[in-house]
Homo-oligomer: A and B are copies of this chain.
């Protein structure tokens, strides 16, 4: 990290650190760090954040999709918007930095711009997307899907805590029935903690995210027969756990092989349920939920082909539950981020995000890329989640440098 470069760009690490600490304090009592979307605690965090935006000279509003937006008007009316942000909601018991770092980095950028007397041609908007994490409604990225016109209509009637999602968005200040896809966003940047161990292990403060991996979920079901575990001879049983265990090991070996290639690939048997799950009964049924992620669509297709064959060989039923393709970042924006990191003397690498982000949805409506910063031990979604303020500040500086270039390069049609 280059302190000299930072001070040149007037990213104020101490001010950013104070904001990170202050927002962390707004948490459910006894459950650090919890501020789930659609709860009073979340709205308390939002109110604090809106106050900080206003103190930074931004004009705030809640948009139709329930996103909090702070705006710094550009020189050229109608030129369009450069947007920076992430989300301030958390998972239960985790997340001082996941999302929050990106929102507060955006806020610090808006302050730094004014401190330096820079005026963009474009408007600059700092966004706190609503409900990026899986919320009590069982879905994620509500705000970024809503802002980009990709929120499924049928989600709005999902019920949690006695009201539907539409009403919950209204409680947050939105009016989802009035949402239309934003056509004025000319570029989007998101800073996020890596949620993985690579940057820390390689001693690099900056990751330029070239793609968000596609996520495919597959349900594998193995059937057996629930015989008495004491009286059924070993050679007369159909134990569902045996082919299930063989499949677990085969899936791991296949994932290892695909991960050794040039693309990012993971496959995880994250859920495993056995029936009847009784000590004295031979397992009759195993359900396994596989989470597979690939930056290269060809890798995912190879995996799914293989899994169909391998599953059949083990008598298993293989059912794809959801299948989302990878979302490449905008190549020119990646180039700008890389050049900015280089200029600031920040160690950097290109990498793929294995996790989903609001940026995946924003990429459909605007040139988009992400900056990753290291997190301790690669841990996230847990109370121990930690990132260094200096790394977040450096990431903000890289984004500020990039925004200056984007403002210059993105055509302004007044």
Contacts and interface: CB of A to CB of B under 8 A. Distances in A.
A382 interface: yes
A215 B280 CA distance: 10
A354 B239 contact: no
B379 A196 contact: no
Given A242-B248, A289-B279, A259 B231 contact: no
A234 interface: yes
A242 B231 contact: no
A265 B233 CA distance: 8
B282 A272 contact: no
Interface in A37-64: none
A196 B226 contact: no
Contact of A196 (B195, B232, B266, B281): B232
A293 to B, nearest CB: 5
A345 interface: no
A: contact size bracket:
35 or more
Contacts of A119: none
Interface stretch (A68-76, A141-149, A249-257, A331-339): A249-257
A232 B197 contact: yes
Given A234-B259, A259-B235, A380-B228, A277 B271 contact: yes
Dominant secondary structure at the A interface: mixed
A353 interface: yes
Given A228-B354, A231-B355, 20 more contacts: A196-B227, A196-B228, A197-B227, A197-B236, A228-B381, A229-B293, A230-B293, A231-B354, A233-B259, A234-B267, A235-B259, A239-B252, A242-B248, A244-B245, A268-B280, A270-B282, A271-B274, A272-B274, A272-B283, A280-B355
Contact of A249 (B245, B280, B281, B293): B245
A116 to B, nearest CB: 34
Nearest to A198: B233
Contact of A229 (B194, B266, B382): B266
7 contacts: A197-B227, A228-B381, A230-B355, A231-B380, A268-B283, A269-B283, A270-B277
Nearest to A134: B280
B226 A382 contact: yes
B229 A268 contact: yes
A350 interface: no
A270 B278 contact: yes
A246 interface: yes
Contact of A279 (B228, B271, B279, B378): B271
A217 B233 CA distance: 18
Contacts of A281: 270, 381
Nearest to A267: B234
A173 interface: no
Given A252-B242, A271-B274, A230 B354 contact: yes
B231 A195 contact: yes
A356 interface: yes
A277 B291 CA distance: 12
B249 A234 contact: no
Nearest to A247: B245
